[in-house]
Amino acid sequence: MAELAAVTLTINGEPYSLELDTRTSLLDLLREELGLTGAKKGCDHGQCGACTVLLDGRRANACLLLAVALDGAEVVTIEGLAQNWSLHPLQAAFVEHDAFQCGYCTPGQICSAVGMLDELERGWPSYVTRDVSSQPRLDGDEIRERMSGNICRCGAYPNIVAAVEDVA
């Protein structure tokens, strides 16, 4: 028998009070309970990044998170990035730079890029940051390293990097 728990979340600016099976992942909640299908179930093991969302402003793999552990959290999915029918700058850049082929990984790539640019703005270094005592400089190496948790099976990486560079 499933054990249920009450959870309150804000998803894409909307408050939700839910009663969930304690085994429900955030990804399954978004896709199966709320119909927000932008985040994709790729590997279901946190290895591909197709399910990447923003959790309290930081990027996270929704397949690895139990929804009941997120009580009070704010979640933004690809569906929540556009404002007033205007694409988020990264969404527009992905279109402009043709930074996708099949599109399966694109929502996760875009959410990850939004979080990555915020990390960069906060001065967080990465493995390839040359001088960790100064503000990281965004170049192709930094983008590739910071986006390495998001896999594109089609190989659209050069255009993804170009789109992120354009927005940055």
| Full set of structural domains in the chain with CATH | 4-80 (3.10.20.30), 89-167 (1.10.150.120)
CA angle, residues 142, 145, 150, in degrees to nearest 5: 130
Confidence of residue 51 (pLDDT cuts 50, 70, 90): very high
Three-state SS at 25: strand
* 146 CB-contact burial (10 Å; exposed 0-12 / middle 13-18 / buried 19+): buried
pLDDT, one tens digit per residue, over 101-160 is: 999 999 999 999 999 999 999 999 999 988 888 888 899 999 999 999 999 999 999 999
